[in-house]
Amino acid sequence: MPDTSQYLAGRTLILVSNREPYEHFHEEGAAGDDVKVRRPPGGLVSALDPTMRCTHGTWVAWGSGSADRETADETGRLQVPPESPAYTLRRVWLDDADVDGYYLGFANSALWPLCHMLLQHYDMRQEYWDRYVAVNERFADAAAEEARRAPKAPVVWVQDYHFALVPSLLRQRLAGERRPTFIHQFWHIPFPPPDILRLLPTAAYTGVMRGLLGNDLIEFHTDRYAQNFLDCVDEFVPESRVHRDGKRVRLGDRDVSLGVFPISIDVEQYESLARGPDGAQKAAELREKYVADGGSLGVSVDRVDYTKGIPERLRALDQLWTEAPELRRKLTFVVVATPSRSELRSYKTLEEEVVAGVKAINDKFGEDGWTPIVLINENVDAAGLASIYRAGDVCLVSSLQDGMNLVAKEYIACNVDEQGVLVLSRFTGAAAEIDDAILINPFNVDGVVAGLRRAVTMPPEERRARMQRMRRQLHRATIFDWLEAILARVDELASSATELRPAAAE
């Protein structure tokens, strides 16, 4: 873990995200009032919890767990992680109408499918936008309050597409304050080109762009997403001036900088979980159970989301076992597919489709003593995931679009035996970074099948050489390197900023 104190010296970090890092709930069917805590699945929480542990500060998030209110003090605050408190979690409470309109509606039925360019899932209503504005106002209020009570100069770090409006709303709230607040935002998902963003109503796409331009700095995973953002500024904010080379936008008397910072994982944590006695033993048990002599184990891990290409993956496996009967019994797949956003019909339907798809394949190819696909559709803790990754000879990531995809990096970190092969969709941010994966196009089933065949037949020396290179590369770009690079940029920009200027007129 790096010493980030040099960057945050004299500053207090306030992080704002929709998803909270620790959810409290009552176990279904359990007697008594016992409150359980879990870390929800998803890349944002996986990446940012380790960063908050070392930077401290306050994390503002939606209190989404059914028992969250029971754990907070009267201000909604709580010290986390539960086992060794290192930072403050401040919850914002949302009612059902907020959740429907802002989270399930505008964020996940409009922005999410558009940013991932999967237009068949796009669903937009005026009330979604109205709630999104209202909830962004609430989070801007909470962030402003935290900024005012921060012991040192505040740096507010907004996360993701749920809060495109928070930066400019916050800037308005803090204008004229004695102490300047540096505002920046990490956009965790792809950013679409203008022809896609303009499918939103005009007020919504201009609102999103102007809201984001309230930041001092906006961070993306890849250069392509940053270029798309600049194209959208060019088209939708005509009074701005875009400086492509310097990745900068001039708006009124302010500069908004852009940066490319591919997110990563706590490599050592995953590695030591995979190497530890528990990880090693569980991985050995999995192999004992599922891998025949000379056979292979394939693994995949995702939230059930239409961006992840899970039905496409199942089609490829069906075709593989049809075309290559010699791989029956020789290749078993463990598919971890955890329900996510189940309140949305498209997600619920997908969950059912995945369960039915796995069953159909198992009915078609299964034999006495061999189940082709083992489906795990529940939350798995980091240690459990590490042992699954370690056990896998092949990891298949088949996202149709994915901002980064941390699973690919987790697999590499856990591959301590250096014999695994990563088969990776070229439409992930990770593919722009990882050179030694087998790249596939998940829309082309034949190509995925060819990639899988290549993976399971790859000679051991080539597997080792590729995995060693991927592991070296990952060790040079961990979540802490990512954090350090961003904090260094924040430090540089914040030190040169003299005053907090108000946002351009809405």
Should residue 52 be labelled a site residue for ligand ADP when binding is judged by CB under 6 A?
no
Q: Binding to ligand ADP by residue 406, rule CB under 6 A?
A: yes
> What is the sign, positive or negative, of the torsion defined by CA atoms of 351, 356, 362, 365?
negative
Please say which residue, 251 or 337, places its beta carbon nearer to ligand ADP.
337
Residues forming contacts to ligand F6P in the complex (CB under 6 A) are 19, 42-45, 160, 188-189, 303, 340-341
| Residue 285 to residues 277, 279, 280, 282, 288, Cα–Cα distance (Å) | 12, 10, 9, 5, 5
Q: Is 300 in the site for ligand ADP (CB under 6 A)?
A: no
User: For ligand ADP, which stretch binds (CB under 6 A), given 49-57, 60-68, 400-408, 411-419?
Assistant: 400-408
Q: How far is the CB of 378 from ligand ADP (least distance, A)?
A: 7
**Residue 333 or residue 427: which is nearer to ligand F6P going by CB?**
427
Of 147, 208, 301, 467, which one interacts with ligand ADP (CB under 6 A)?
A: 301
Report if residue 379 touches ligand ADP, rule: CB under 6 A.
yes
State in angstroms the smallest separation of the CB of 500 from ligand F6P. Answer: 27
The site partner of 336 among ligand ADP, ligand F6P, none (C-beta below 5 to 8 Å per kind) is ligand ADP
Question: Is 478 near ligand ADP (CB under 6 A)?
Answer: no
Distance of CA 376 to the CA centre of its chain: 20
Structure tokens at 87: 């930072």
Contact 461, 419 (CB under 8 A): no
How would you classify the pairing of strands 296-303 and 254-260?
unpaired
Instruction: State the Cα–Cα distance between residues 47 and 442, nearest whole angstrom.
Output: 25
Q: Which is nearer to ligand F6P, 340 or 399 (CB)?
A: 340
- Residue 280 phi/psi, 5-degree rounding, is -65, -45
Among 388, 400, 404, 434, binds ligand ADP (CB under 6 A): 404
Q: Site for ligand ADP (CB under 6 A): which residue of 114, 385, 421, 486? A: 385
Q: Is 339 in the site for ligand ADP (CB under 6 A)?
A: no
- Quote the distance between the C-alpha of residue 319 and its chain's center: 30
Tell me the closest approach of the beta carbon of residue 422 to ligand ADP, in angstroms.
Answer: 13
Quick one: 32 exposed, middle or buried, by C-beta within 10 A (0-12, 13-18, 19+)?
exposed
SS (H, E, C) 446-490: HHHHHHHHHHHHCCHHHHHHHHHHHHHHHHCCCHHHHHHHHHHHH
Per CB under 6 A, residues contacting ligand ADP are 41-43, 46, 301-303, 336, 338, 379-380, 385, 404-407, 410
